[in-house]
Amino acid sequence: MSHAATTVVPASNAAARPSSRNYARSYWLFILPAGIVVAAVIVFPWIFTLFMSLQDFHVGGAMRFVGLANYERMLSDDRFIWAIIRTFYFTALAVIFPTLIGVAAAVCFNKHFPLRGLARTIFILPMMATPVAIALVWTMMFHPQLGVLNYLLTSVGLPPSTWVYDSATVIPTLVMVETWQWTPLIMLIVLGGLASLPQDPYEAAALDGASGWQAFRHITLPLVWPFIMVALVLRAVDALKAFDTIFVITGGGPGTSSETLNLYLYQEAFSYYDIGYASAIVVVFFILIMAVTLVLMGTRKKAKAA
């Protein structure tokens, strides 16, 4: 009797336990709303963009299927090619300078000194403002006659600069604005990495007589490198997509000397109303962003594994 009683309990537990089929059904009920939202917000717009990139369509005109003609047009479009070159030029500068300054700032703010909290707060303030507001302020500062920057240059005996009004200096000047605004982001990411580092290697290095630079080069930099790579990925993707700051300050000018791929896409879609060609540019732009992201993520994984 005791044996029979013990065999009844597992049977009753098995009967009370929900089947895997019922569990899977309830699981799909939970994720279905999120799946519908993702499909509506992300998947459908991309499918529609791919569809439109195969059409010849201007606003107010008839839609005509042209296949890959829009993509073939890019190969002979000098303005498109130069927009890609400017995009990568701007992105490279807008990644290198904030990273170098951000890492240096993180190392400084990781040390203890009076009013460190206040200094950190002041340093991250540019990141809190909206890009359009920042662009408007910098536009006034860049004015050749009334801008405060040229006033400061002439005050110390330096010649005034043309800033964003010269094709030779417009992109470096825009990079200066990006560096001012987004260096705090790099600093915060790297600072988080520095705060998590063990202290034993530094104590051993100090006993061996290592200098501060040697400790940074052989201990700090390798340990914090994965955090730097995360910052590089975020900054590179954000710089590739930069639009609002450039559009407000220069509008792509003078001429087209600061016209990145994002601005060229905007002009084709909303100035020339060539929706088909603009959609093809969106597809190519997305592929470029994904390629850069995958390369950086691969480099990050190798650095983390090393």
190 burial level (CB within 10 Å; 0-12, 13-18, 19+): buried
Mean pLDDT of 171-192: 95
Based on the fold, state whether residues 200 and 244 are members of the same structural domain: yes
What pTM was estimated for this model as a whole? 0.86
Same domain, 6 and 81: no
User: What mean pLDDT is reported for the chain?
Assistant: 88
| Same-domain pairing of 169 and 283 | yes
Let me know whether 23 and 168 are in one domain: no
pLDDT band per the 50, 70, 90 thresholds, residue 153: very high
- CB-based contact 265:281 (threshold 8 Å): yes
Query: What pLDDT does 33 receive?
Result: 85
Residue 195: inside a domain, yes or no?
A: yes
Q: Verify that 111 and 33 share a domain, yes or no.
A: no
- Residues of the chain with pLDDT > 90, as a percent, come to 64
Q: Please indicate, yes or no, if residue 176 is contained in any of the structural domains.
A: yes
**β-bridge pairing 55-56 and 64-65:** antiparallel
Does the pLDDT at position 2 exceed 60? no
CATH code, domain carrying 140: 1.10.3720.10
With left for phi above 0 and alpha for psi between -120 and 50, is residue 259 left, alpha or beta? beta
- Quick check: is 61 in a domain? no
CA gap 247, 132 in Å, rounded:
9
Say yes or no to pLDDT of 131 above 70: yes
Q: What is the pLDDT of residue 1?
A: 45
- Same domain? 129 vs 253: yes
What is the average per-residue pLDDT within 19-32?
69
Could you tell me if 182 and 266 lie in one domain?
Answer: yes
Instruction: Let me know whether 33 and 89 are in one domain.
Output: no
pLDDT in tens, 56-73: 999 888 999 999 999 999
> Token pair 């309830």 is at which residue?
26
Count CA atoms within 13 Å of residue 191 on its CB side: 21
Co-location of 269 and 196 in the same domain: yes
Per-residue pLDDT, 17: 53
Range of 76's domain? Answer: 72-305
pLDDT reported for residue 90: 97
Burial of 226 (0-12, 13-18, 19+ CB in 10 A): middle
Mean pLDDT across 25-41: 80
Q: Confirm if 247 and 90 have CB atoms less than 8 A apart.
A: no
- 47 and 119 both lie in a single domain: no
Q: Is 10 among the domain residues? A: yes
Residues 45 and 102 in one domain: no
Based on the structure, what is the number of domains in the chain?
A: 2
Paired tokens of 75:
């190969």
Question: Band of the pLDDT at 20, cuts 50, 70, 90?
Answer: low
pLDDT in tens, 73-124: 999 999 999 999 999 999 999 999 999 999 999 999 998 889 888 999 999 9
Identify whether residues 16 and 137 lie together within a single domain. no
